[in-house]
Structure 1
Amino acid sequence: MAEVIAVKDEEVVIQVRIKLNGSMLDREESIQSAVNDVGCLATSEAFKRFDTTGAPIRIDNVRMTSKGVVKKRYETPYGAIDIERYVYQTSTGGKTYCPLDEHARL
């Protein structure tokens, strides 16, 4: 089991607890699961750095406002993670825009 202990500036502190009981295979699977949990948590924190605050933005001189946060599932090397990120649209509707996806080059 892993959990985020602290996030400050460009750093995240993650604590992990690994059970080392059972056969060697059980222990290896427990270690691998914990490593994947750490990877998912760190990647989630990294993604958040690419999102906006929800304030209106301009793209090619066109004003866009937030439709709020929308949850999206992203596949990572460590497993799938669900991220709530801001999605934008113009006042006339049409295609939506997600700054996180563009800024993180997803």
Structure 2
Amino acid sequence: MIDLFYTQLTAALANRDGIDRIDWREFAGHRFLYVTSSLAHRELITVILQDAEALVKGTRIRCQCNHIRTEEQRSVFRFRFLVPEEKMFCCGNQCEDCTLHRQQ
């Protein structure tokens, strides 16, 4: 399911003016976003975060984007969508942190 967010983010960024190429690579379990763009560095980060936040609006998922390096017009970011680690449903094992015990 989370892969759908990465696919949608890629499509959203591909439709932006000033962004020429988008690639995803995975190293040591982390996803890296490679972007070739004529946009200024700050503007590029703003565009990425705006599109990502628009995708997760109304969900409990958050996004995190860390700049790694820039070489000429190619920038590399460690990007990830973060899913909450708390329990979302009752598993029936009578756990201490059961969702049924939460105050609404």
Greater percentage in strand: 1
- Give TM-score scaled by structure 2 length: 0.29
Instruction: Decide which structure has the larger Cα Rg and report it.
Output: 1
| TM-score (norm. length: structure 1) | 0.28
